[in-house]
Each structure stands twice: as C-alpha cells, then as structure tokens.
Structure 1
Amino acid sequence: MSIHVLPGQIAAAPVRAVLRPAPLRRFLARPVLNAPTLSQAGDSYWLAWLQAAMTLTLTMMIAAGFAAAIDEWTLASGTALALLTLTAATLSLGATTALIGLLASPMATVRPLPGWQPIGRTAVLLTMCGEEPSGPARMLSELAMDLERQGINHTTTLFVLSDTRDPDRIALEEETLAPLIDAGQIVYRRRTENTGRKPGNISDWLHSHGNRFDYMMTLDADSRMGASRIATMVERMERSPQTGLLQAGMRLVPAKSRFGKLQRLSARLMGPTFLTGFALWTGDAGNYWGHNALIRVKAFREAGHLPKLSGSAPFGGDILSHDFVEAALMRRAGWKIEIDAETRASAEDGPQTLAEFHKRDRRWCQGNLQHSRIIGMAGLHPISRMHMAVGIMGYAAGPIWLALVILLSAGLVPAASIWPLLAVVTLLLMPKVCGLLRNLGSTNSPRARKIMLRAATAELVMSSLLAPIVMIRHVLAVGSVLTGHDCGWKSTTGRRVNLPSGMLEAAGGIALVALVAVVNPDALLFMLPVAAPLLAAPILVPYLDRQHDVHI
C-alpha cells in the first residue's frame, strides 16, 4: 500500500461533519458543544478553563505514572521526568483540542444576504520577495474576475507589495504583472529599500494608502483566497466592531511530490477537527498565521507595531515570526482576535520537498525561539502567551524527544513499566483518531469508509517514518540558533554544506545506534522505531521528494 495511490482515491469522498456509523453516529449527532453559540455569545471562556483543566489533568496523570514507574531516582531520572512532563503537556493540549473539535457541532458560517454590499473598503495585500511571479499573477487575475462576479470589486482593491531586489527577477516580475496593471486589476508597488522585511512592507503601505481602507486582507505569494470567502469575512467583521483580526482556516493546494501529498492528506484528515476545537476554546484570543487573514486597519495601526529586539540576531533584531506577536499586541489593546475555522476558498501551497520544508522550518524555528524574549511582555492575554509557548515547544520538542530516547535507551532511567510512554503515544495519536472519526461521517458508503481507513493508515505509517527525520532537523535548527547562527547553517568558509539527501539524518541514526550498542545493547529493539527511519533516510527522502502524477 503506497501513500500516493490512496489520497487520490479519497478525493471522491468530501469531508463533512458528523459520524454516521450506528451508535457512535447517534451520539455525535447531538453535539456536546454548540460551536456557533459559543463563538457568537462569547462564552468560550469556560471552555478555555475546561481545556486547561483537561490538559493539566492528563499531564499530571502521565507524569505521576512515569514517576511511579521509576525504580531508582537519579539526576537522569529527574531530568527524564521533567522532559516527559513538558512533552505530555504539549501533546495533551493538542489531544484535547482535537477532542473538543470532535464533540462540537460544525461552526456555522453566516454568509452575506443576496445583494449585500460592504460598508467599508478592503485592500487585498499580496507580498512578494523574489518568488516566481506567474503563479501569483494567475491567482490575482482569477481573483479580480471573482470579485466582479461577487459584486464587491468596487469596494476591494488588489495590491502587490514587492520587496524583490534582484534586477533579473524585478524585470520578470514587472513583465508578468504588466497586463494586470494595464487592465487596472491590481496596484503594483515595489520598495527600493526593504527595511523590516514583510512587516516593514505592510507598514509602508499603511502610511501611504491605509487611510483609504477599513480592512486589509494579507496574502503571501503562495496564498489563495476566493471572493466569496473575502465577502463572508468582511460581513462578519462589520457585524463585530471589536474584532481586529479574523484568521481564515486554510487548505493545501493539490501537491506534486509524495511529500506534498502527505502534508495535504494529513491536513485533510486532521485539520477541520483540530481547527474547530482550536477556534472554540481560544475564543477572542485566537492567533494570526501571517496570511489569509482579514485585519481591521484601525486595530493594526493602533496596536500592531512590532518591537525591535535588542542585540543581534538570532535572538535580537527583527522579529521573524511577527504574526503571533502582532496578534498578541492587538489582543492586549482590547481587540478581538478570532479564527474562522472553515477552510472553504482559502488555501496555500506547501513545500514540495523536504529541503524546502527544512529551509522554511529553520526560519520559523528562529522566529519562534525569539518569542522567549516576548512571552513575558506586560499586559499580554494568557492565551496569547500560550500561543508563543506552544510555538517554542514546537521546536524544543525535537531536542526533548532525542534526549528522552537517549536517556531511556542508554539505561540511565531504570523504569519498571512502559505504560506512561504508551500513554504519551496515545496522546500523539489522538488528533489523528479524532480527525478520522469525524471524517468517516462523510459518507454512508462502506467502500468510501474503507478508502478513508486505508488512507489514514497510510498517513500514520508515513508520518511515523518522517517524524524522526524532522526531529533530527529540529535538533540541528535549535542548536544553530542557540549557538548564534542567523537563518541557516554556515560552514567556517561561509558556504552552505550540501550533503546527499538523507545522509545527515542517516549519520544521526548511526550515532544513535552506536551509542546504544555500546552502553545498553538490550535496548536496541526499543529504539528501533526511531533509528530505522533515520538509517533509511537516504532512500526515504528521495522517495518522498519524487513527483507523482496523482494529485490530491
């Protein structure tokens, strides 16, 4: 069974909301949580407390179980307990979020009535910095026509805000966008000085054009947004004057490589359930993911000014993961930050190769670790601090997992039971299980349910093989930031070291096996699920990077 066949088959079964098969269907047909009522009435605070209580309970149960299983307390045992507790807390948060999304009714979308027209004006801001322009140009052309069909083109203006510096790329960009500019479909502006990167580009636009607009929709060069979705989000914001930012859920566009298809399949299986739960319990203290979000210009101008961190990069200077911070600052100023969990007519491209994924992840790692200097800022909402803490843990988890594997495999933590570790694995699987249960309700067809189960099994196998590879890369990325390297690994000559695909991970696997073989050979079988994918990385990585003609 291969991952690139099943996702193509599953496309015939659209994901809907409630579980159909027999007793469980009847249970979930009466949702425990009514999503529209909670989000509209602002009653999500009690749900946030419930979420916190469930997360804390699960974390303490696993920590207590692990402590009880330890035969001898040493420095290594105490370290392992602390690391496991941190891991359990993060995984419990994800598991309970997915559970809330499973038990909730679908979040209803109130679409504008026929003939509705926006009161305010909206600017759609697409930012570019050297990307291939043909894709954005095609998307903008389609969006311009879509806005006209939707009847909101007179209140919506499309901007391209370019920070491209290379002369050849500038020429290609201007040539590609010229037909749209001549047709009056877009307004094109390229800065000569790209101070402040993307946030600086948007800030410059606010100074020069912001007075003319009430809302701005932020897009990246690889983003997609439909006019109907823009209209729905504008109408919702006009009904809620205190909403400062509305973040749309997103899908991934059809992929070209096996790795891209795996990402898209994972998002389709788990995304809707997780997003629903996340939108519910975060309430009006949601988050911003940098694009596909509608922002009230007034709110952003009042509160979205990014601080410049003292010192030099990687921990100082410009904030790379600016979106989390902008959302936190607006929430601190009293504006609501909400998440629209629906993914209709909102999408983005995902990395098609592991090299592209690691390159993007390295930048995100540095940006998220910078949040360690912001998380204690006075006046931030507790959930805003939680967003930053989870973002930091997203990358700290790699070194933590590796440290736990080494401590346990080396026999430094004598434990009488592996049940606490199995509980951690259960938490890790919970979002997948919740997503699968909800997606199985998409059809009454036994054949379609069988395809869904096969696809979910394939996703589980492939993501499990990929997890140790990502872990090693996160260890390297965190280590790079902590040792003062800014945005990428550099050799002593200043040139990037290029190794054959998967060799770096294989070297990590060899080192891990060698260590365990020397200090505790009996544990070789225990650490095989981690070591085997690393050793197979020179084969696995090229396999995942390879393009395939089945699109999902």
Structure 2
Amino acid sequence: MSVAEIIARANLTPSDKLERPGVGWLVAQLVLTLLGAACISTIFAVNLVEWTGASLVALVLIGLGGIWVSGGAATSVLGLLQRRTAPVSPPKDWRPLEKTAVLVLLCEEDARPLARYLSGLHRMLNDQGCDQATNIFVLSDTSDPNRIDAEESVLAPLIASGTVTYRRRANNIGRKPGNIADWFTEHSSDYGFMLVLDADSRMSASRIMSLIYRLESKPRLGLLQAGMTLLPGRSHFGRHQRVASRLLSQNFGRGLAAWSGEAGNYWGHNAIMRISAFRSAKQLPVLSGPAPFGGPPLSHDFIEAAWIRRAGWAIELDPETWGSAEDGPQTLAEFHKRDRRWCQGNLQHIRLITEPGLDVVSRLHLASGIASYLAAPVWLALVLLVATGAVRVEGALPYLVVTAIILLPKLCALSHWMKRARTFARRRLVLRASFVELLLSTLIAPVMMLRQSGSVLSVLAGQDCGWKSPGRARLRIWRGVPEVAFGAALVGLAFLTEPASSALWLLPVALPMLSAPILLGWLDRGAR
C-alpha cells in the first residue's frame, strides 16, 4: 500500500498530510507573547511611585517574568483556535509493515504493577492481530540486590511465556539514555520503529497501533510524541495533579503542537521513533567540566529531539491524551525530588542552546525549559523587592493584569471543556473541577515558587543532585517550617515598610506559606 493510499483511506485532515506546515502559528505565538509581556511591563512602569536603581532591576525582572507567563497564555489561546479533528485510526484490515520494539525502562521500581500492565498489553496486541509486529523489551538498570531478586521473580512468568524480553545491565553507564543506546546497538537492525515507555507509563494497544500507523503514513516523521494524562491519584496531591492535567493539557497541547509544527519536542516516554531517525541522537553530547553544569545531560529528551530535528526529520506532537498516561508523584516531597533533577537538567541546556545547526523552534523548546525554572527566582525577587519597599507600585492594576494573564490558560481550558460538555450536569462538573483546581493551584504556587527557587540557587551554587532513581521521599518533621519562616518574614517586612499596600498584595503569597504545614499534610494524605 502506498503512502498516498494510506492517507486517503485514513481520511486524514490537511494538517496530517506530508506538507510542511507554515510559520503562521509560530509567528502568532511570538507576537502574542511579546504583546503580553509588553503590556505587563508598561503597566508596571506607569504605576511605579518613583524611579530608582531597584525599580530598573524590577522592570527587567517583570519583563522576563512577563515573557514566561505570556508565552503560556499565548499557547493556550492558540489551542482554543485549533479545529478539533477525529483521532487517526488505522483501517480495520491494516497491519504494520515494519516491526516495532516497545522499550520499557525500569530502575529500582516496583515491577508488580508493570508486570500486570505488560501482560494485559500483550493480550490486547494479540487480540488486534499485531502481536507479531511488536516485541516488548524490559530494560532494567536496577542495582539493589533485593530489588533485583523481586524484579526477576515478578517478571519470570512473562519471560518464560515470551511475553517480554528482559535484560538487566550490570553497569548502568549513561543511565536511561545509555540503556536505550545499548539496546539500539544490539537490536535496532531488526526493527523499523521503537516506542519508549517508563515503568510507570501506560499506553493502550489501540493508541500504540495509531502511533505506528501515523509514523508509517509519514516517511519524513522521525518522532511522534503522544499527549498523556495522569493515572488516578492516591493522595490529595496526586488527585489534584490528575484533575489539573485533564483540564489543562489538551487545550495547551493543541496550541503547542500548532506553533511547534514539524519541530516538536520529546518528553522522554510515551513516544514512538523511527529507528533510522534516532541514530542521529543515540550518542548524546557530554558537557565539559564537573556537574551540575557539566557531564551527561540529565534532561536528555529535549536534546534528543533537537538532534533528530537537526538531522532533517520531522517531530510532531499528537496532543490527544486517550490511551496514554503516566503515574505522578503522590507527595510534594516526591515531586520536588524529581523536579530538582529536571531543574538541573534544564539549566544544563544553557550550554547547548547555541549549538550549531539547531532548528529555531528546537532552540525555543530549550529556552522554554530553562525559563520554566528561572521564572521562580525571578518572581521571588520581585516579591522581595515589593515586600522590602525597595520598589513601590501604585494601585491594583499591575497586580490584576499579571493575575489575568496567569489565569488565561485556565480560562481557555475551561472554554474548551464547556464547549464539549453537552448537558447542564456536565457543565456544572467542569465548573466545580475548575474552581477546585484553581483554588489548590493558588495555594500550592507560592510553596512551589520557593522550592524551585531553592533548586535553581543550589544548581548555581554548584550542587549536583545526580541522577536519583524514582522512589518515595521521606517525610520530615520540619515539613513546611521553612515556608512558614519565609512567609512570616515577608509579612513582617511588608508591614514595616509599606503597611497600606504592599502587605495587602503580598497576602496571596504569604498566607499559603504560613499555612504550609497544614496544607502539605493535607495534600500528602492518602499517599502510600
């Protein structure tokens, strides 16, 4: 079957065909981002009480912070403007032309849920008649002897039945990228595509078949990243993350897919790649010098996407979340443990963003990852400048404008879901979920700002977090105490310097910090 016949039979929309997309959405994204940042900066400048050296510093900071929040708002607006199309499904009589390796990466994690999932996945692939076109590999980097015994025992029936091929490395050189590179060297010649999953990733057989079909339909497509949602949470924090993901990710993903075009990104899992395309990213650069800015890139996925794109392959994001999920951290401590590694990995990209030959959109993805962590200390510095009275802003308008732009992605997502909710009961459910998500996000945001600022400062101070395996972060007796101390100092400074205005506008930041022990305890409830 020719590519043209495949496309015709699938009734693909124009955006799914093989033409290179224009730059219209990218230009719209940049224009909206700059307009939003300019609006924030102008209103802030107009409402300054006096011009000082601290005011100039604050103006630079508000411009940087404005670019970050306006970029997210612009992407959400673009997502709302996208025409929704039906998911691409293979014809009933279609069978893959090339074999696909499903690579599942496992490292020091409980293998029991994974074994149950892989058993079911193999059965579903068999029911669809595609089991001969897919092979499941479990690639382990587990090194703890007790975990190795448990892992091998749990997976033994699947290995014996031929459901999975299991390989554990004795030497974990290169961590996850090295694990995939080792498999690639030994087995890639037998396969046309490879699908990458983490141990806590979940994809349905139907979604996997859809991704394979999309890749076969587009010879220039080197990597297709699937959108994803979160598995049901066990704690209040886990459930909050899942609700936020379900509400916000689809609309935001559509906007991101629109302006990324054929220079999309890779999130490390729940993505399918063409074997011939991945060869250009198999050997990642090793940064000179010591960690945290030197050594192997911790956030390798962005780099792999940029390298594949540089080699001339298209990379696309399929923002639909059906049949694609992952598990999330169930406590803020676990979230911060993972986030600290991501922070270091994204800041390492500062050294790679000027790499010759990269697509301009790939550079934007790298810049966005860097800005996502630098935004926290930028906003924290602005809060301190206002709290100490070094910078005085008159009136409520600057705060209201910033708040409105921050809320715009949530409003766009709400609009997206309200259009899909056909009954009053469903609309009421969407409204209630959106309100609760907004309330909890508002309470958590100051805590996250403080913790991410600490992560950035620790990286800048030269502290290496290493590549820590996933695991339960221990709860500490002093949980929330640093936030309480910071919140109390913030309120005290504000009342001493500007009691009538600064203290009032700092309360949305200070109050969640002051209540951090109660808040964190409630969020972690139910985690096991």
Q: TM-score, normalised by structure 2?
A: 0.93
Q: 1:497 to 1:44 in 2, by over 3 A?
A: same
Q: Give the equivalent residue in structure 2 for 1:526.
A: 505
Identity of aligned residues (%): 50
Question: What amino acid maps onto 1:536 in structure 2?
Answer: S
Q: Deviations over 1:288-343 (max 9, x none)?
A: 00000001111111344210000111110111000000000111111111001111
- 1:61 & 1:500 partners in 2: Cα distance? 41
- 2:389 & 2:185 partners in 1: Cα distance? 61
- 1:541 & 1:36 partners in 2: Cα distance? 46
Q: Give the equivalent residue in structure 1 for 2:33.
A: 55
Q: Give the equivalent residue in structure 2 for 1:471.
A: 449
Q: Contact 1:249–1:342 at 8 Å: present in 2 too?
A: yes
1:268 CA displacement: 1.1
1:53 CA displacement: 1.4
Q: Give the equivalent residue in structure 1 for 2:172.
A: 194
Q: Deviations over 1:409-446 (max 9, x none)?
A: 22222333432332121111011001111111233322
Q: Give the equivalent residue in structure 2 for 1:446.
A: 424
Question: What amino acid maps onto 1:329 in structure 2?
Answer: W
- 1:250 aligned to which of 225, 228, 234: 228
Q: Contact 2:331–2:527 at 8 Å: present in 1 too?
A: no
- 1:519 & 1:464 partners in 2: Cα distance? 25
- 2:105 aligned to which of 127, 149, 152: 127
Partner SS, residue 23 of structure 2: helix
Q: Give the equivalent residue in structure 2 for 1:25.
A: none
Stretch deviating more after TM superposition (47-56 or 193-202): 47-56
Q: Give the equivalent residue in structure 2 for 1:18.
A: none
Q: Give the equivalent residue in structure 2 for 1:512.
A: 490
Q: 1:425 to 1:36 in 2, by over 3 A?
A: farther
Q: Contact 1:304–1:329 at 8 Å: present in 2 too?
A: no
- 1:548 & 1:130 partners in 2: Cα distance? 19
Q: Give the equivalent residue in structure 1 for 2:471.
A: none
Q: Deviations over 1:49-87 (max 9, x none)?
A: 121112112222222222222232211111111111111
Alignment map for 1:282-301 (pairs within 5 Å):
282-301=260-279
Q: Give the equivalent residue in structure 1 for 2:519.
A: 540
Q: Deviations over 1:468-512 (max 9, x none)?
A: 0101110111111111111179xxxxxx99443222222221232
Alignment map for 1:69-218 (pairs within 5 Å):
69-218=47-196
Q: 1:304 to 1:92 in 2, by over 3 A?
A: farther
1:437 corresponds to 2:415 = yes
1:44 CA displacement: 4.0
1:273 CA displacement: 0.6
**Structure 1 stretches of 5 or more lacking a match?**
1-34, 490-495
- 2:14 aligned to which of 37, 46, 60: 37
Q: Give the equivalent residue in structure 1 for 2:405.
A: 427
Partner SS, residue 159 of structure 1: strand
**Structure 2 stretches of 5 or more lacking a match?**
1-11, 468-473
1:372 corresponds to 2:350 = yes
Question: What amino acid maps onto 1:69 in structure 2?
Answer: N
- 1:325 aligned to which of 279, 299, 303: 303
Q: Contact 1:244–1:330 at 8 Å: present in 2 too?
A: yes
- 2:134 & 2:438 partners in 1: Cα distance? 43
Q: 1:69 to 1:521 in 2, by over 3 A?
A: closer
Q: Contact 1:107–1:276 at 8 Å: present in 2 too?
A: no
Q: Contact 1:304–1:327 at 8 Å: present in 2 too?
A: no
1:525 CA displacement: 1.7
Q: Contact 1:248–1:292 at 8 Å: present in 2 too?
A: yes
CA RMSD of aligned residues (A): 1.9
1:310 corresponds to 2:268 = no
Question: What amino acid maps onto 2:296 in structure 1?
Answer: D
Structure with the larger RCO, 1 or 2 (CA within 8 Å, 6+ apart) = 1
Partner SS, residue 454 of structure 1: helix
Stretch deviating more after TM superposition (38-47 or 61-70): 38-47
Question: What amino acid maps onto 1:412 in structure 2?
Answer: A
1:120 CA displacement: 0.7
Q: Contact 1:270–1:431 at 8 Å: present in 2 too?
A: yes
